[in-house]
Amino acid sequence: GGEDITRPLSSGSQEFENDSSRPPLYQPFPKLESLIQCSGEAEYIYDKPVIACDLHAAFVITRHGPAVLGGLDPSRALKLPGVVAFYSAKDIPGRNTFTVRNTLIPEEEQLFADKKIQFAGQSVGLVVAVTQELADVAADLVQIVYKSKERPILDLREIVKNNYMDRMFLKFDKEATTTKPDVRKVIQGEFKTNEQYHFPLEMLSCLTVPTEDGQELDVFCSTQWHQAVNEAIAVLLNIPQNKINFRLRRLGGAYGIKLTRGNFVGAACSLAAYLLQKPVRMVVKLETMMETIGKRNPCLVLYETGVNNEGEIQYLNLKVYVDAGSSFNDPTVPTLSTGYQNVYDSITWSAKIFDVRTDKPSNVWTRAPGTLEAVAIPELIMEHIAHEVERDPLYVRMTNFNPQYPIQGLINILRQKSDFESRKNAVEQFNRNQVWKKRGISLVPARFSISLLGNYHATISVYSKDGTVALSRWD
């Protein structure tokens, strides 16, 4: 009979090095906000006190795409008691976009589709009501007329297989600087990394309050990039940026979704508040977020490599196709192209990386964007090589290390401290004695590049009475 799968109690330890000569530098201490966050005392946007005349908003999103928008009928929603307004592209006083172009935002995305619907889940309008629950219900009652519906192309493999050149754009091309002659085996393969959703504890949220003279907006928006939200609101409403007062204490998780998608909720919420001259709140429900906002970029990887009997790569031809979704914003190719070599000697590697447009929401940065995919590419290839040449995967990895990185010393320390060899032997013994249950253990190196995305100003105030300091920053 079968047995229950059991797992023994896990344990671990963490070591901190400190330099006592320069306190408090280099000394470990708990996260400053940890206690109030764990106790529920930390205030997030949703926790801000309700003002008597607060209104709430919800997106109206499409169920089909690509298509042509034939019209919108909000009459059923507006008949519900408590529904205040419906806004669409024609109500925007400025430019219909929530993404102002810059290095990380090469394309403008419409806040509300006005003619062409690019994907199922694209927003076409906004319902405003007296409660968030009512706004969510009313948004589903807005009728959307679709014309010229098209079959969406959602899978990278279909585009690559059919060579749809109008959807594939070469972004990185590197030729090997040399090849090695000792090719004993040629190995080919492909794999695909799929979507991953962010699941932040705090949904995309915003509170926008018009000031008493109606000329400025106080904006509280869940974003990782204040400047981008400020610029998006200013362009959308056609008002100066200095009329927008932005405040944010903390985020309830983001993992990348709030880098440029904070603009999405911030711009929409501020549009309603500006037009109605009343405070408006938005908490985008998880189902809407998952339909209208992209995820981690899927990648299709095709490779051919020639190796010697030790598993050392003599040449490697690599093609990587990155699913960008409906736009090329939040690009991952820059980090992918600088990281796919990981810690290995890549002088014999040739690589081409393509951005691919699909009929899905624009995919967005997700925890270690591009870097995770970059590390996965050579590691899966190393595993494949090890299987083909019947060598230990760690041996194959070490055979291909780039000597400029001090990785061998780190590997030796980790093997010793983790008792890797004994645990590996135990796994092998277990697998020899088991038919249905198998265990595994692996030691995988990773190189994570550190980049500085920009310099932003900060204001430091030193109080004359007691010398305490207050820091305000903008990013």
Question: Residue 474 above 70 pLDDT?
Answer: no
Mean pLDDT of 387-405: 96
Same domain, 348 and 385: yes
Candidates 362, 232, 381; CA nearest to 295 is 362
377 located within any domain: yes
43 located within any domain: no
- Choosing from 360, 386, 402, the residue where a domain stops is 402
Same domain, 211 and 351: no
**Which residues have a Cβ under 8 Å from the Cβ of 399 and sit 6 or more positions away?**
310, 311, 312
Strands 349-357 and 313-325: parallel
Mean pLDDT of 48-66: 94
Question: Residue 448 above 90 pLDDT?
Answer: no
Mean pLDDT of 117-142: 98
Report pLDDT for 2.
Answer: 65
Record the pTM: 0.92
- Give the whole-angstrom CA distance, residue 273 versus residue 87: 11
Question: Residue 237 above 90 pLDDT?
Answer: yes
50 located within any domain: no
- Choosing from 402, 427, 448, the residue where a domain stops is 402
76 located within any domain: yes
Mean pLDDT of 457-469: 91
Full domain range(s) for residue 299:
156-197+295-402
Report pLDDT for 267.
Answer: 98
346 located within any domain: yes
Same domain, 192 and 205: no
456 located within any domain: no
Mean pLDDT of 234-263: 94
Q: Compute the mean pLDDT over every residue in the chain, rounded to the nearest whole number.
A: 94
pLDDT in tens, 267-315: 999 999 999 999 999 999 999 999 999 999 999 999 999 999 999 999 9
What CATH number is associated with residue 93? 3.30.365.10
Question: Residue 422 above 80 pLDDT?
Answer: yes
Same domain, 235 and 383: no
Same domain, 326 and 395: yes
Report pLDDT for 103.
Answer: 86
- Give the whole-angstrom CA distance, residue 149 versus residue 120: 11
Q: How many domains does the chain have?
A: 2
- Choosing from 274, 292, 310, the residue where a domain stops is 292
Same domain, 169 and 136: no
185 located within any domain: yes
Does residue 344 contact residue 401 with C-beta atoms inside 8 Å?
yes
337 located within any domain: yes
Report pLDDT for 287.
Answer: 95
Same domain, 117 and 259: yes
- Give the whole-angstrom CA distance, residue 269 versus residue 98: 11
Question: Residue 473 above 90 pLDDT?
Answer: no
Same domain, 115 and 248: yes
Same domain, 186 and 93: no
* Sign of the C-alpha dihedral computed for residues 227, 230, 233 and 235 taken in this order: negative
Question: Residue 1 above 60 pLDDT?
Answer: no
Same domain, 130 and 244: yes
Same domain, 318 and 383: yes
Helix axes 407-417, 420-433, angle to 10 degrees: 60
pLDDT in tens, 144-190: 999 999 999 999 999 999 999 999 999 999 999 999 999 999 999 99
Same domain, 241 and 132: yes
Region of residue 238 (left: phi > 0; alpha: psi -120 to 50; beta: else): left
